[in-house]
Amino acid sequence: TTLVLGTTHLTSRMTTDTPAQPPPPPPLRQVIIPPGTLVGYKACPGRTGQRLMDHTATDPGHALWSGIYVQLSLSQAVSYVPNQYDRGETTCCICKIVTKQPLKVAVFDDPAMAEPGLSSADKADWVFKAIEKSSFLEAGHHRPFAATNERNSPTTSVVSFLGNQDHALCLVDCETYELAVPHTLFSPQRLIVEPILIFPLST
């Protein structure tokens, strides 16, 4: 089974001297992915995904947007291979990610998340506005990231906030969707991470 979470057409927005306020974000929609589903691909350090699994087992992921970002197409994942070399790796691989257990995903269909002029903190606040409107999630007590120093030292990431409610997050990044998996859900109990391509540095 292969997962298709959805598509969207992004349109450029005309800029004016006094930009109009965007409409409120839509609520997130819930998708429950069954076991045995190929959800995407991930560029990983080394020849397997084990180091990435080890990392998520020890790092709670407190940075604002901390999470494991899974690309929904193989070509999209391959485009991230140079990032591994930039981090000093001499070998990296592409792993396919398959569910072992049902995976609940909160899908955010708002193309505003692809706007380059929107800061990371503002995007985090935008997601929380959508969470507040989503009946299957608990918004809890949230201080705006854009208005506090949490943008520099947040107590939890947006992705981890959803992970605490047993959800991953799917949202638009640039022009494509990607799946942000909380560290707590990126585990061998929940996912199969299998290498399918290996890239030495000389490739």
pLDDT at position 119 is: 87
Q: Where does residue 105 rank: exposed (0-12), middle (13-18), buried (19+ CB within 10 A)?
A: buried
Torsion of CA 53, 197, 169, 67, to 10 degrees: 40
To the question of pTM greater than 0.85 for the whole model, the response is: no
Q: Write out pLDDT tens, residues 15-31.
A: 445 555 667 899 999 99
Q: Write out pLDDT tens, residues 118-144.
A: 888 888 889 989 999 999 988 775 555
pLDDT at position 63 is: 85
pLDDT at position 4 is: 53
Q: What's the token pair of residue 157? A: 């990431």
What whole-number percentage of the chain has pLDDT above 70?
79
pLDDT at position 1 is: 56
Task: Kindly indicate the confidence band of residue 10, based on its pLDDT and cuts at 50, 70 and 90.
Answer: very low
Q: Write out pLDDT tens, residues 73-101.
A: 999 999 999 999 999 999 999 999 999 99
Count of alpha carbons within 13 Å of 120, Cβ hemisphere only?
Answer: 13
pLDDT at position 111 is: 85
Q: Write out pLDDT tens, residues 62-71.
A: 788 999 999 9
Q: Where does residue 174 rank: exposed (0-12), middle (13-18), buried (19+ CB within 10 A)?
A: exposed
Task: Kindly indicate the confidence band of residue 2, based on its pLDDT and cuts at 50, 70 and 90.
Answer: low
Q: Write out pLDDT tens, residues 143-200.
A: 556 545 444 445 568 899 999 999 999 998 767 899 999 999 999 999 999 999 999 8
